[in-house]
Structure formats: structure tokens, C-alpha cells
Amino acid sequence: GIQVEQSPPDLILQEGANSTLRCNFSDSVNNLQWFHQNPWGQLINLFYIPSGTKQNGRLSATTVATERYSLLYISSSQTTDSGVYFCAVERGGGFKTIFGAGTRLFVKA
């Protein structure tokens, strides 16, 4: 099956710093999503981005489907950005959205 690798596995930032999270996938995909799991365990949709670039406030994402990777940019990080960021992909026609292991982010005040 398709493999999804996220890097780095852990990241500690000082409040105000910028960061880039990466998601590599081993095969072509039809869908790609980024989620934030907050410290209370809730999964929050960040981006639905099979290709191209999207921005939402301090967050933006880029997926280059032909090269099988996606990047999530966090600018001017805040303590509320702490949590785990997951990348999830779906191959065509299978309805099976597969998750990476996540990047655990801690933002220090």
C-alpha cells in the first residue's frame, strides 16, 4: 500500500518563529489533507489540497503531486499551534485515506 512519511517527527519552536512541515508519499494520490490535532485530541481540518497552493491566515500549504510531496508552512507561530500535524492521502477509487505518523509541534512562549 501507499506509504506516507512526515518530517520532522518532532519540532520545538520559540513563539514567533516560522516552520515547514513535510509530507512525502510513495504513489500518486487523488486527495491530500492536512489536519491539526490539538492537545485535547480534536482533529481540525487545515487544508484539503490535492495539488497547488492554499493559504489560510498564518498557515499555507503546497502540494506538488507530480513529485509526491506536500509542505505545510506555519508563520509567526503561536502557543496555540502546539499539537500534532497529520498529513493524510487517498489513492484513487479506494476510499481509504491513509495517515502519516504526524509531526509533533511544541511552541514555547
Residues at the interface with another protein (CB under 8 A): 1, 30-31, 33, 35, 41-43, 45, 48, 86, 88, 90, 92-93, 95-102
- Name which of 33 and 63 has its Cβ closer to another protein: 33
The amino acid sitting at 19 is S
Min CB(74)–another protein separation in Å: 19
| Residue pair 73/60 in contact by the 8 Å Cβ criterion | yes
Min CB(73)–another protein separation in Å: 20
Could you tell me where the beta strands, DSSP code E, fall in 3-109? 4-7, 10-14, 19-25, 31-37, 43-48, 52-56, 59-64, 69-74, 83-90, 97-99, 103-108
Min CB(87)–another protein separation in Å: 9
